Structure 1
Amino acid sequence: MDVTGRRLLDAERQEAGRAGTHGKVCRLPVPVRASLPWLVPEEERTRGAGQPVKRQKYIIDLTYSTAQKFLWDGKHEKAMPAALHALHFSTEVYGSSSVQLVPAYLLLAEACIGVGRHLQASKYLSQAQWIVLRTPDCSAAVRHRLHRSLGLLCAAEGNFEQALHHLANDIYLASSTFGLKSIEASGGCFHMANVFFRQNKMDIADSLYAEVTDIWHAFLMKSVQTQEQIHKSRAEKSPFTEDKEVREDNMTEAQQAEAIQVLNAVLGIREQAPKQQPGKTARVLHALAMLYYLIMDVSKAYEMGTKAFDLLKQLPQQESLEAIGHLLKLINSKPFYTK
């Protein structure tokens, strides 16, 4: 971290002091900075020496995920204190020039973009770029996030061509790391679609929104099938059967927030379009129904699923009716969902 980076961190660290994330940090059972008493035997002190670092890494994960969720919820101001904590503890654990600081800088930049502080966002992104340029072996996973943040800033400033350039790099790097149809790659597609939408290039935007929907639809379909297998295996389990538990891959809170924000945004665009496309709208509704089913919001899951079912009944080709009908049965068979 150069002088500018240190000034940025020192100037804004005070904002984090009274935030909710600070409360979570302060409630940890053992203080992060606590030193071991000298009366403890040498081997006990040696064995416990790594504990502060473990606690700091836990706080980094906690504050990072909290800030990320706030961003996807559209609560940019609330994301800043959590992101500042993530930057502070990342600096203490990894050093002031480590690539481990880049995710926190990107969170801060995106939070600033969300509240219109573009100059401040640019400074955070400059710090992130400086670190990445100094790290020849920087992973594609980090670089794709950097290009996304740069694309978001350019889009916010109205520099659409440069925004598309960065978002194209974002999609390429995310696809090479996580796969072409990964939800990580879909984020860049969503933001690129938004840029084309703002340019009134509706055909390209429509194609990208459909791609984003398909990626989330496939991901959520697999998640629903996995959960169904888990419930079935537990119901059929007996003392005499071999224990073959299906592994459950739950979405993180940040992924849930991203899915809700992205899919509802696409649904709004579909429903307000001058030329209605019932098939594409039904697909977004089906994805949302699966999402709300997975996060146990039964009323919204049923609402979205019913809308999708009614739309598809009006179309000549009704291949998806069976899948949505099955989902509605799953929703109705879960009385413990109370949201």
Structure 2
Amino acid sequence: MEMAGGKVAHDVVHQKTDWNSIHEKICQLLIPLRTTMPFYNSEEERQHGLQQLQQRQKHLIEFCYTVAQKYIFEGRYEDAVPAALHSLRFRMNVYGLSSVELVPAYLLLAEASIGLDQIIQAEEYLSQAQWTVLKSTDCSYATHSLLHRNLGLLFMAKENYDEARYHLANDIYFASCAFGTEDIRTSGGYFHLANIFFDLMKLDLADTLYTKVCEIWDKYLNNRYQVLTEARVQQIDLLGKQFETDTGLDEAQEAEAIRILTSILNIRESTSSRAPQKIVFVLRILAQEYAMRAFNIAQEKQLGAHEQNLIEQLLSIISTEETYPIPYEAGFP
């Protein structure tokens, strides 16, 4: 009885975690999927109904994936698992059990498992992802990048730095092929590689990579501010065109930016020989990210013009502030 009671208690906790993590967010979206398909008068109507159903499922796939990513970047690994599992289940329903489209969800589950120090579980998810990629003939560079990044994280957790560097180098290569060497989606590989060099006390290499990551995010946020400014002048509702223009960050990318830049800031501040210019540089990028976030919220929630103008003024000050080349100093940072 005691064991059974313990299992019931565990299940209740698991269900509560699942509800708080993702189910509450998608509950209303699930209703159309669980409703019995109506009778259609023609094959054309039936096909249209099936397409609508598939579109809803694809929306849920991306929504659950983004939520899981956000939790991972925030270090909320236990919350990430239910969201990633939901994304995996919807992917199986839409694409089948052996599709390469399942790989991103496997990789999220692996990363969450690494964060929870469940290394064996992470290896199982990564093995499934690797096997699926090997069988695929049309796997994208972006998926290869994610696979190698997670393998790099796994070997970092196992303190096998040679294997970790190999996989992170491949991550950077494939991400560069997919997005370019200076893209924010490539910066994660540079960041994790820098962490390895920092742990190995190869401080000059770590410093170079940390600086590169900061420069990538600084350039991206400056460009994004310019787009927002132009949209404001032209009275364009950018929020409605966010995915079309690809100028904004989703919640997961915002969480990633804050996590990476905060980590670099902590490293810059904690080292014995500090370089104030480098600390200020990271702080300025973080300030711009938070200001951009506030700007988007102000528009989305339709706050008053006064609040929006104040945030715009702050963004303008941050973005136009003159910056000077950061001199390299021996003895990191």
Higher RCO (CA 8 Å, separation ≥ 6 residues): 2
2:185 aligns with 184
1:114 aligns with 2:130: no
CA contact (8 A) 2:292 2:315 kept: no
Alignment match of 1:250 (pick from 248, 251, 255):
248
CA–CA separation in structure 1 for the residues paired with 2:102 and 2:184:
23
The CA deviation at 1:143 is 0.3
CA contact (8 A) 2:21 2:80 kept: no
Q: CA RMSD in A?
A: 2.9
CA contact (8 A) 1:288 1:301 kept: no
The alignment partner of 1:50 has SS state of: helix
How many pairs are equivalent? Answer: 289
Q: Which moved more, 1:135-144 or 1:180-189?
A: 135-144
CA–CA separation in structure 1 for the residues paired with 2:37 and 2:158:
51
- Equivalent residues in 2 for 1:54-69, closer than 5 Å: 54-69=55-70
- Equivalent residues in 2 for 1:135-146, closer than 5 Å: 135-146=136-147
The CA deviation at 1:284 is 0.8
Letter of the 1:258 partner, please give it.
E
The CA deviation at 1:54 is 1.4
2:225 aligns with 224
The CA deviation at 1:178 is 0.5
Structure number having the greater helix percentage: 2
For structure 1, list consecutive stretches of 5 or more residues without a partner in the other structure: 1-13, 236-246, 310-317, 322-339
CA–CA separation in structure 2 for the residues paired with 1:67 and 1:147:
19
The alignment partner of 1:137 has SS state of: coil
1:100 aligns with 101
The alignment partner of 2:19 has SS state of: coil
1:213 aligns with 214
CA–CA separation in structure 2 for the residues paired with 1:191 and 1:253:
21
1:41 aligns with 41
Q: TM-score, normalised by structure 1?
A: 0.78
The alignment partner of 1:109 has SS state of: helix
CA contact (8 A) 1:286 1:305 kept: no
CA–CA separation in structure 2 for the residues paired with 1:121 and 1:112:
5
1:313 aligns with none
1:320 aligns with 323
- Equivalent residues in 2 for 1:66-85, closer than 5 Å: 66-85=67-86
CA contact (8 A) 2:291 2:314 kept: no
2:171 aligns with 170
The CA deviation at 1:273 is 1.3
The CA deviation at 1:137 is 2.8
For structure 2, list consecutive stretches of 5 or more residues without a partner in the other structure: 1-13, 237-244, 296-306, 325-333
- Equivalent residues in 2 for 1:290-309, closer than 5 Å: 290-296=288-294
CA–CA separation in structure 2 for the residues paired with 1:196 and 1:302:
39
